[in-house]
Amino acid sequence: MASTSEPAGASEDSGASGTSGASVISGASDASGISGASGTAEPAAPVLEVRDLAKHYPLTRGVLVKRRTGAVRAVDTVSFALGRGETLGIVGESGCGKSTVARLLVSLERPTAGTIHYRGEDITRLSGRALRAVRRNIQMVFQDPYTSLNPRMTVGDIIGEPFEIHPEAAPKGDRRRAVQELLEVVGLSPEHINRYPHQFSGGQRQRIGIARGVALRPEVIVADEPVSALDVSVRAQVVNLLESLRDEFGLSYVFIAHDLSVVRHISDRIAVMYLGRITETGTGPEIYGHPTHPYTQALLSAVPVPDPEPREGRERILLTGDVPSPANPPSGCRFRTRCWKARERCAVETPTLTVPPDLPGPAAHPSACHFAEERVVVPAPS
Amino acid sequence: MTRLLDVQDLRVEFRTRDGIAEAVGGVSYGVDAGRTLAVLGESGSGKSVTAQAIMGILDSPPGRVTGGRVLFRGRDLLTMSARERRRIRGAAMAMIFQDALSALNPVLPVGAQLAEMYQVHRGMSGKDARRRAVELMDRVRIPAAGQRAGDYPHQFSGGMRQRIMIAMAMALEPDLIIADEPTTALDVTVQAQVMDLLAELRREYAMGLVLITHDLGVVADVADTIAVMYAGRIVETAPVRDLYRRPAHPYTRGLLDSVPRVNDRGARRNDRGARRNDPGEPAGRGDRARRNRRGHHGGRLYAIKGAPPSPLALPSGCPFHPRCPRAQEICRGERPPLYEVTAAAASPASGGRTSACHFWKDELDGLDV
């Protein structure tokens, strides 16, 4: 529905959804493991449609008289669609712009350029009451369960606060019961409604943050590194909770993380970001099993696998150097300064995120590389 | 042969307003020259406090070593004079911290900080020391080391800063390095670079390395032996392959089962239960299948229930029993000793496998709960 209002750019995206649809069939063993809502992962009717999104933060000099000396291009021409009931994973290293995308999606930041369509409406231009109505449906779960909860508020007040802002969601008399129900939904005891955040462990606090996120029964939850601050033994509990909430409430997730293993587990589709741009996107089997962008390949090859066995068969691509500064990104392809395939063309011509023409099967998914080529770096376990 | 580092029954307490917290409750581990011991544990498991006690940099008060021995080349660091200990700590053992930005001096150029090591410990002239500092930066592959020696820590990226930390630890060519979560704050691509560098230096200088981490993946890459800590105690020690292939403690197994793998979306999904049982493995392992019979279904990860206990209120008996699927009456009442794990399947070179579980045999054989 959003695409009807934006006929111009729709072709690229329908191409993307076409390929991911095809490979869901080819990777049938994976799809069969997904239950209920997430199985209908087709981005046919996107809940969110992001087009050419950009966020530049000005760099200024001077204390009294500020002069603009440049801009940090945190996010640059990012486009994607999020289907109903779908989980889109966004991965990338620190500084790649994934958290900025999250903040733009929930309107905590205004984009420099581009649009975000929710139910056919561009939410980047909304304000006041209209913006509030949209925000009710797009909620966020934050990374740090220690700083994202007000230490002076009781758990009941924290989870109930969304109802204060959106009184239409629950009548006043019902709120306490609504909060208790939410506590139960996220696996906490309803009797703990009067406790304070410091009385809970990290995992429990993240459950509180999640309860606040789902309180208004939103359609979309943007989760920015929701489990990376948690201990290993608790992380799986919270991942499972997010998955069961998705199935129960039919939520769509934008799941942002740097942990590629967790992203693979929870996501239907994955977008890899590097220096403010999406470099490759596709389904789990496409991205992890058949990566075609050199950056994705390097990233995957560097992921430590908790198993000494498959190490011998694994290819390690060691990137040299660090990520360049987004204030002064390389021309053309932004990865070229660390890429072993880089040629002259890469410095001149910015590669677009399109399906490379001559790649077969699951390798045929959007990849922003002039020399996209399949290379298996994480062998499937035998 | 005396071991390079031999920690015996180390105990550390913290006095807090709410009572005495037993942060380390009798930890024993050791490492030989040229080997890597990984200490794996979650936050609050006591892994870092143990390291601080070994290095003698425990915040005290409130922390206090209440028992045990820390033998370095056979000599107990805990009973020697402060002066003697300082001499060993500077030259023979060094530590690498997680957060290089707060571990380095922010108002001194990195070259000067490195040079200081040579001036203080080796009595070198300023000029010689600076030259050695640049060589050292070059050795840890900091590009244009000569020019960058005059830069301050904040001018370096996270990965480069961690290299400087490594350079600093390496400066006096110590026999032992303790690295506390050296790559946790880094991105994966940089993390791989730094771990490779550490492993390379360890080989080159035949150092002993104690690698403290919470990351099962990082450990699998570089460790020879792994000690798993939980609630201030070691629950299992094993050669790296044995630990991953056949854990002998329910906590270790739970950890292994609860992390998703990058190469396998649903390793722990029910329809794939039997798949990872390679023929080489003893019958009855089938842990994935086992989990499913226990009712973990539909693509969910296996999760250890509950949360780690507070060191102020450790459970009776085995500290893991409230979260353990295998717990019996005896686990509530009796704290398990570190049993010697002796199984035919332990690889020949292994030796010294231990497990603090009353039912380690069942766990090792993957018997159903």
Q: How far, in Å, CA of B183 to CA of B168, rounded?
A: 16
- Could you give the CA distance from residue A367 to residue A373 in angstroms, rounded to a whole number? 9
Ranking A22-36, A130-144, A212-226, A271-285 by mean pLDDT, the lowest is A22-36
The pLDDT of residue A1 is 39
Chain B hits for A227, CB-CB cut-off 8 Å, are: none
Query: For residue A188, what is the nearest residue in chain B, using CA coordinates?
Result: B306
Q: Taking 90 as the threshold, does the pLDDT of residue A293 lie above it?
A: yes
**Is B244–A304 a contact, with Cβ atoms under 8 angstroms apart?**
no
Nearest to A261 among B157, B262, B304 (CB): B262
The pLDDT value recorded for residue B265 is 56
Out of B195, B223, B251, pick the residue that ends a domain. Answer: B223
Is the Cβ pair A33, B300 closer than 8 Å? Answer: no
d(CA B350, CA B192): 26
Where is pLDDT greater, at A43 or A262? A262
Nearest residue, CB atoms, A310 vs list B43, B214, B263: B263
Please say which residue of B192, B223, B254 terminates a domain: B223
Contact between A35 and B298 using a beta-carbon 8 Å cutoff: yes
Instruction: Considering only the beta carbons, identify the residue of B214, B241, B265 that sits closest to A30.
Output: B265
Best A32, A99, A233, A239 residue to mutate vs chain B (most B CBs within 10 Å): A233
Distance of residue B262 Cα from the nearest chain A Cα, in angstroms:
4
pLDDT of residue A12: 39
Facing residue for A240 by CB, picked from B159, B266, B300: B300
Partners of B64 in the β-ladder: B13
Pairing state between β A269-274 and A277-283? antiparallel
Res. B9: pLDDT tops 60? yes
Let me know whether B205 and B344 are in one domain: no
Check residue A239 and give its pLDDT: 93
Domain shared by B312 and B184, yes or no: no
Cα-based distances in Å from B42 to A27, B48, B231: 35, 10, 9
In our burial notation (b when 16+ CB lie closer than 10 A, e otherwise), range B54-91 reads: bbbebeeeebbbeebebbbeeeebeeeeeeebeebbeb
Helix (H, G, I), strand (E, B) or coil at A142: coil
B260 shares a domain with B218: no
Q: Which residue out of B211, B228, B265 would a mutagenesis test of the A interface target, given it has the greatest number of A Cβ atoms within 10 Å?
A: B265
Q: Are residues B200 and B66 located together in one domain of the fold?
A: yes
pLDDT greater at residue A145 or residue A56: A56
Q: Can you tell me the distance from the alpha carbon of B115 to that of B149, in angstroms, rounded to the nearest whole number? A: 10
* Segment of A276-280, A321-325, B285-289 carrying the highest mean pLDDT: A276-280
Pair B256, B359 in one domain: yes
A290-312: b (≥16 Cβ within 10 Å) or e: bbbbbbbbbbbbbbbbbbbebee
The whole-number pLDDT of residue A22 equals 35
Q: What does pLDDT average to over chain B?
A: 84
Q: What is the CATH number of the domain that holds B217?
A: 3.40.50.300
pLDDT > 90: percent of chain B: 50
Q: What amino acid is encoded at B104 in this protein? A: L
> For residue B196, what is the nearest residue in chain A, using CA coordinates?
A318
pLDDT at B114 over 90: yes
Which residue type, as a one-letter code, is found at position B68? G
Average model confidence (pLDDT) across chain A: 84
pLDDT tens per residue, range B262-282: 876 554 333 333 333 333 333
- How confident is the model at residue A269, as a pLDDT? 95
A359 touches chain B (CB under 8 A): no
3-state class of B337 per DSSP? coil
Q: B164 is written with which tokens?
A: 């400087």
Q: How many independent structural domains does chain B possess? A: 2
For A108-114, what is the mean pLDDT?
Answer: 94
Residue range A127-150: mean pLDDT, rounded: 90
| Rounded Cα gap, residues A39 and A18, in angstroms | 16
Structural domain span for residue B13: 5-101+173-223
Q: How far does the CA of residue A305 sit from the closest CA of chain B (Å)?
A: 5
Give the lowest-confidence range in A8-22, B48-62, B216-230. Answer: A8-22
CB distance A264–B260 less than 8 Å? yes
- Asked if B258's CB is within 8 angstroms of A233's CB, the reply is yes
- Please state, in angstroms and rounded to a whole number, the distance separating the CA atoms of residues A11 and A366: 13
CB spacing of B263 vs A381 below 8 angstroms:
yes
Under DSSP, is residue B196 helix (H, G, I), strand (E, B) or coil?
helix
Residue among A232, A299, A304 minimizing CB distance to B220: A304
Residues B45 and B79 in one domain: yes
ipTM of the prediction: 0.80
Q: Residue B259 has what pLDDT? A: 86
Domain contains B113:
no
B195-219: average pLDDT: 90
Q: How close, in Å, is residue B169 to chain A by CA atoms?
A: 22
Provide, as residue numbers in chain B, all residues whose Cβ is less than 8 Å from the Cβ of A33: 265-266, 269, 271-272, 298-299
**What topology is assigned to A2-57+71-363 in CATH?**
Rossmann fold (3.40.50)
- Mean pLDDT in residue range B188-200: 87
Q: Do A231 and B308 touch (CB under 8 A)?
A: yes
Residues B195 and B239 in one domain: no
Q: What is the mean pLDDT of residues B125-152?
A: 92
Which residues in chain A touch residue B155, judged by CB atoms under 8 angstroms apart?
Answer: none
Residue A282 pLDDT exceeds 60: yes
What SS3 state is found at A241? Answer: helix
Domain assignment present for B322: yes
Q: Which tens digits make up the pLDDT trace of B19-47? A: 888 999 999 999 999 999 999 998 889 99
Which residues of chain A does B224 touch, with a Cβ-Cβ cutoff of 8 Å? none
Q: Which of A96, A307, A319 to mutate to test the interface with B (most CBs of B within 10 A)?
A: A307
Domain boundaries, chain A: 2-57+71-363
pLDDT of residue B37: 95
* Min Cα–Cα distance to chain B from A127, Å: 37
Residues B219 and B236 grouped into a single domain: no
- pLDDT for the residue A40: 41
Residues B303, B186, single domain; the answer is no
Q: Which residue has the tokens 């060993």?
A: B88
Q: What is the pLDDT of residues A309-358, one digit of tens each?
A: 655 567 788 887 778 888 889 999 999 999 999 999 999 999 999 999 88
Cα distances from B197 to residues A299, A315, B98, B296, in angstroms, run 18, 17, 16, 40
Phi, psi for residue B280 in degrees, rounded to 5: -65, -15
What part of B 311-350 touches A (C-beta under 8 Å)? 323
User: Of B223, B250, B281, which marks where a domain is finished?
Assistant: B223
Tell me the one-letter amino acid at B74.
G
Chain segment A75-107, per-residue pLDDT in tens: 999 999 999 999 999 999 888 999 999 999 999
Q: Is B101 on the interface with A (CB under 8 A)?
A: no
Are B299 and A34 in contact (CB < 8 Å)?
yes
Q: What is the C-alpha to C-alpha distance for residues A136 and A277, in angstroms, rounded to an integer?
A: 28
A146-200 tens-digit pLDDT: 889 999 999 999 999 999 989 888 888 888 999 999 999 999 999 999 999 998 8
Query: For residue A18, what pLDDT is reported?
Result: 37
Between CA B338 and CA B229 the distance in angstroms is 12
> Does B113 have pLDDT greater than 50?
yes
pLDDT score, position A83? 92
Report the candidate in A54, A25, A55, A61 with the shortest Cα–Cα distance to residue A41: A25
Does residue A239 belong to the interface with chain B, where contact is any CB pair within 8 Å?
yes
B350 and B302 in a common domain: yes
Query: Which of 298-337 (A) contact B at CB < 8 A?
Result: 298-300, 302-311, 316, 318-319, 321-323
Residues B81 and B214 both lie in one domain = yes
Q: How far apart are CA A373 and CA A356, in angstroms?
A: 9
Cis check: omega of the bond before B282, within 30 degrees of 0: no
Q: Is residue B97 part of a domain?
A: yes
Specify the range with the lowest mean pLDDT, choosing from A118-132, A301-315, B348-362.
Answer: A301-315
B201 and B307 belong to one structural domain: no
**Contact map slice: A 195-224 vs B, CB within 8 A:** 201-204
Establish if A127 touches chain B: CB-CB under 8 angstroms.
no
Count of alpha carbons within 13 angstroms of residue A188, beta-carbon side = 31
> Chain A interface, mutation test: which of B224, B243, B263, most A Cβ atoms within 10 Å?
B263
pLDDT of residue B311: 85
pLDDT (0 to 100) of residue B94: 92
* C-alpha dist (Å) from residue A379 to A135, A282, A372, B149, B159: 42, 18, 19, 41, 27
Among the residue ranges A10-19, B89-98, B303-312, the one predicted with the least confidence is A10-19
pLDDT at A33 exceeding the cut of 50: no
Task: Please tell me which residue of chain B has the smallest CA distance to A312.
Answer: B221
Give the model's pLDDT for residue A229.
84
Q: Is the pTM of this model over 0.95?
A: no
